[in-house]
Amino acid sequence: MWLLVLAYLGGVLTIVSPCILPVLPFVFARTGQPFIKSGLPLLLGMALTFALVASLAAVGGAWVVQLNQYGRWLALLFVALFGLALLLPSLAERWTRPLVAAGSRLSQVAGADARPRPGASLLIGVATGLLWAPCAGPILGLVLTGAALQGANIGSTLLLLAYALGAATSLAVALLLGGKVYAAMKRSIGAGEWLRRGLGAAMLAGVAAIALGLDTGVLARLSTASTGGLEQALVTRLASQSSGGNGAMMAQLPTASDQPGASMMAAGGAMKRTANGATTLPIEGPLPSLDGAVQWLNSPPLSTQALKGKVVLVDFWTYSCINCLRTLPYVKAWAEKYRDQGLVVIGVHAPEFAFERDVDNVTRAMKKLGINYPVALDNDYTIWRAFNNQYWPAHYFADAQGRIRYHHFGEGNYAESERVIQQLLREAGASTVPDGLISVSAQGMQRAARMSEVKSPETYVGYQRLAHFVPAASLTPDAVADYKVPAVLTLNDWALDGQWNVGAEHATSAAAGSRIVYRFHARDLHLVLGPGVEGKPVRFKVTVDGQAPGDAHGMDVAPDGSGSVTEQRLYQLVRQPGDVAERTFSIEFLDPGVSAYAFTFG
């Protein structure tokens, strides 16, 4: 329910976003006609079409995107004719005979006569829905990500529809107010014809803006800058009230902390304690199917039936996720300590970035991390959806009868989780289960975060989930462009310098000497990076406040700031000793070709 509210409010905010400008003339062309029979059908057609197309695009693959491109061009042609009919009604008379009737109908639809036509307005709304490319700010990015992870289901479509109806609501208010202004102007100065021609010209300008990609380029970048902070505040407020959330979208939600997804909004099962202090674990449901993995590592494929009689811990993770890395020491220790008592730990590797789908990359990461328990590669999110999972990391604890008895999302609550393991093992008949708890002293990236010091959010470098980038208007998606760092960066601002090609998921440097600069506040700064073409290493130089990091260097950086990107993974670049302060981080890549994905902090 909270996610539906969040999606709706995100849609309402689009009215103050610059990227809504190209479609506003299409909506205001209904000004002066009855709202119920003209404006409302247009807005409903727009909302329904957007929700349908966005749902298909999120789960249907490239063919849906390509098909929608043809639909957009047809819609552009239709709306352009509509705009011409508004601007130059006499033009219809000079068209060839087969088009005369069409031109006359368009002229009527455009408002040349007084009769409202709900069907025609609905058709204009459908065309507008095909053309509408709302800004991918935090809320819409949240919704689209969840749609992709959860696959085709009614919940994803309802969230996208809620977003579209939110936008329709704010547009309806604007349309109603505009209608009153329009009527007043007609009565006072008889300006109806000129207003109609002006709307026609505005519609043609909107068609040109969309055809040139301004709605998904410059205007979208401006919109992210103007509404991203407000959207993030809504996300944080509503997420905190939802006690962990019940929707599919929280998995990649950029939060106000450093966590990927809402992973640190830790949520456990409904554990209760009886009067004598014993723990009662509820039955949350059967252990879902583990079928659908593209490959199993460290084990042949496992099934829920074969695991009967064993206590099972299922850990959803991905190898570049800093939160997953910080929980791994505990998961590995439990697997080792309780293996002989009947515990089976299963890692489900559900990738966030494309390179995490590569089996060799995952195998290499597992070897470095010392993971020797079974891991299912869930590249298609089949197991993720079977569990209706929402978070990285997520832990599900099943008893020997194949029933989930407890779950926990995110970092923390390790003692409670281990006591659950002990209780389930005893219920299964294990007689030598120790009472003591493990003691973990993790180092490097796996060291626990100092969350009281973290004031910087996880930040994606690709434009699909872009936030805090400055200056926003300088961003040129999917093309090599020159960037400059502004003279002043405030907390959590970041910028590019040199030649970069910013894609949906990552940015790639196109020349030696390109930099990324980030003003941050946290003990640790990490950046997901990948090397150049064919894995060619990329050398880099890190500075903190313009100086070599010295004692503040991360595990992947020397004290003089030097380092090298040799594989696709998370790199720890800064670890401040002692008191944590706000710093300006800079990384200069001495060779071209590096790919940068996301910053995380700890």
Among 5-14, 96-105, 350-359, the minimum mean pLDDT is found in 96-105
Higher pLDDT, 547 or 46: 547
All residues at 6 or more sequence positions from 533 whose CB lies less than 8 Å from its CB, including other chains = 593
**Tokens coding 158:** 């309802």
Q: pLDDT tens-digit profile of 218-276?
A: 444 444 444 555 555 555 455 444 433 322 233 333 332 333 333 333 445 555 554 44
Q: Which CATH superfamily is domain 272-446 in?
A: Glutaredoxin (3.40.30.10)
Listed by start position, the domains of the chain span 2-229, 272-446, 452-601
Concatenating the DSSP letter of every residue in 40-74 gives: HHHHHHHHHHHHHHHHHHHHH-HHHHHHHHHHHHH
Instruction: Give the separation between CA 64 and CA 150, rounded to whole angstroms.
Output: 17
Res 45: pLDDT: 77
Buried b / exposed e over 543-557, threshold 16 CB at 10 Å, is: bbeeebbeebbbebb
Res 336: pLDDT: 95
Q: pLDDT tens-digit profile of 67-111?
A: 445 555 565 565 566 566 555 555 544 543 444 344 444 444 444
User: Architecture of 452-601 per CATH?
Assistant: Sandwich (2.60)
Alpha-carbon distance values, 338 to 346, 416, 420 (Å): 13, 15, 12
pTM: 0.62
**Most confidently modeled range among 175-184, 436-445, 572-581:** 572-581
Concatenating the DSSP letter of every residue in 270-318 gives: --EE-TTS-EE----EEPPP-TT-SEEESSS---TTTTTTSEEEEEEE-
Instruction: Give the separation between CA 575 and CA 553, rounded to whole angstroms.
Output: 6
Q: Which 3 state secondary structure label does DSSP give 200?
A: helix
Higher pLDDT, 527 or 464: 527
Higher pLDDT, 407 or 90: 407
Mean pLDDT calculated for residue range 548-565: 97
Mean pLDDT calculated for residue range 23-42: 67
Q: pLDDT tens-digit profile of 422-456?
A: 999 999 998 889 889 998 888 888 888 888 899 99
Higher pLDDT, 137 or 280: 280
Q: Judge whether 272-446 and 452-601 match in fold.
A: no
Q: Number of helices (H) and strands (E), helices first, in the chain?
A: 15, 20
Q: Is the pLDDT of residue 133 over 80?
A: no
Q: pLDDT over 90 for what percent of the chain?
A: 45
**Tokens coding 325:** 């890395």
Buried b / exposed e over 455-470, threshold 16 CB at 10 Å, is: bbbbbbbbbebbbbbb
Beta-bridge partners for 525: 574, 601
Mean pLDDT calculated for residue range 573-594: 96
Q: pLDDT tens-digit profile of 304-339?
A: 999 999 999 999 999 999 999 999 999 999 999 999
**Most confidently modeled range among 25-34, 384-393, 593-602:** 593-602
In the chain, the amino acid numbered 589 is F
Q: Is the pLDDT of residue 209 over 80?
A: no
When pLDDT is cut at 50, 70 and 90, the band that residue 56 belongs to is low
Instruction: Give the separation between CA 299 and CA 371, rounded to whole angstroms.
Output: 12
**Most confidently modeled range among 15-24, 187-196, 349-358:** 349-358
Cα of 469 vs its chain's centroid, Å: 16
Mean pLDDT calculated for residue range 288-293: 95
